[in-house]
Amino acid sequence: MEGGKVMSEKRNVLVGQSGGPSSAINATLAGVVEQALTSAKVDKVYGMKHGIKGVLEDWIIDIGIPLGGPAEQKRLIHTPSSALGSCRYKLKSAQDDPAAYKTIFERFKQYNIGYFVYIGGNDSMDTVKKLSEYAKEHGIDVAIMGAPKTIDNDLHGMDHSPGFASAAKYIATTFAEVWCDAKVYDYPTVTIVETMGRHVGWLCAASAVARAQGNAPHLIYLPEVAFDDSAFLEDVKAQLAKSPAVVIAISEGIKRADGKYVCEDEGNVTVDAFGHKNMGGACRVLENLIRSKMNIKVRCVDLSILQRCAGHLASSVDLHESRILGSIALSRALEGVSGQVSVLNRVSDDPYRVEYSTVPSYTIANHEKPVPREWINARGNDVTEELVKYVTPLLGGLFGSDLSAGYPKHFGF
């Protein structure tokens, strides 16, 4: 290894997916496979089932054959969720778990892996960082690269994260349709819609795009601003004075000034393998709060997993960019680059244009990008027009899947 680069020869590629699924993560996988199949440096393309656990458990399959044609690759691009499966596995440091690293790099040797691409979010990029540093320290000839993914849009070093645009498109569309339903009655009603977003509110904020089709949502609450029950009730009453129907967008991760999540009022909150609290239920807490203080009809809607794998509303921009980011991650690995992540950054809004590059994985791993405070109004119950302008170009046009049977046809290994 010289200057942070590994010397290349004809070797095999290994790719995996980790973290929460999305409508675009398979497009990134397709980009990696397409790049691999056209490279003279690559012999076989392997996929690991269920993320890095697939290496530890030897759940490795040849994916070059089933994805050898353009028709199969296109179907994969338009298939939501993680075709190779995913995991919530936290790779410890080499000092804390030397056996895991020994197994991983013995597996790389067993399958003649020269190029490894891991598709995922913050924690997945931490895995890229740890493995690339280990390979460099031990003189191991494997190029390890990351390709970004997260619907939360919280990755540093890039304008937006693959998967976010499609989820945002689903959310904006859903709010426009919820407003069509809510406004039909002449008596007061409140509808609270909960989106994903544990620590950052990008997804919830995207609901504001729906206002191009109507008035909703009337109120938007993000984790970036402390939530106050009394102020919330005042906001709802003020909106009801203007309209009999009020639609409210809340992020699952809204929390009060004392740091307690609103959803924790529902009861015990468990944590995942990374120590993150499992969210969900804030809308029910607020539904009960309104019902106890006002004599009006109120309901809550938790979008839950529907927003992250809504392939029928995937953004064409999202799928295109995700595919390119996968291709770039492997192409840089083929050049000998290791320990970096493919990223994109916006050059202009109109016409919408981005540029692609790579950045060191340590600049992304374990960091979160919040919604800028200046894109949230002073009271903390809405977002500004700058946020809407930021999201709108990402939504794209038709998703382009095969609907010959009347519903999408998905790819599966």
Catalytic residues: 152
User: In this structure, which amino acid lies at residue 348?
Assistant: S
Phi, psi of 287 (to 5 degrees): -60, -45
Are 209 and 388 contacting, i.e. CB atoms less than 8 angstroms apart?
yes
In 41-163, which ranges are continuous DSSP H helix? Answer: 53-56, 70-77, 98-110, 122-137
In 66-121, which ranges are continuous DSSP H helix? Answer: 70-77, 98-110
**Residue 292 to residue 126: CA distance in whole angstroms:** 45
Q: Is 65 exposed, middle or buried (0-12, 13-18, 19+ CB in 10 A)?
A: exposed
Kindly state the DSSP code that residue 392 receives in the 8-state scheme. G
**Residue 241 to residue 238: CA distance in whole angstroms:** 5
Phi, psi of 181 (to 5 degrees): -75, -45
Kindly state the DSSP code that residue 94 receives in the 8-state scheme. T
**Residue 25 to residue 34: CA distance in whole angstroms:** 14
**Residue 54 to residue 86: CA distance in whole angstroms:** 9
Concatenate the DSSP letters of all residues of 350-378 into one string: TTEEEEEEEEEGGGTTT---PPPGGGB-T
Three-class secondary structure of residue 190 per DSSP: strand
Cα angle, residue 316 at apex, residues 219 and 311 outer, rounded to 5° = 70
Residues in the chain: 413
Are 109 and 138 contacting, i.e. CB atoms less than 8 angstroms apart?
no
Kindly state the DSSP code that residue 132 receives in the 8-state scheme. H
**Residue 196 to residue 269: CA distance in whole angstroms:** 15
Comparing CA positions, the residue from 389, 391, 409 lying closest to residue 399 is 409
Are 197 and 152 contacting, i.e. CB atoms less than 8 angstroms apart?
yes
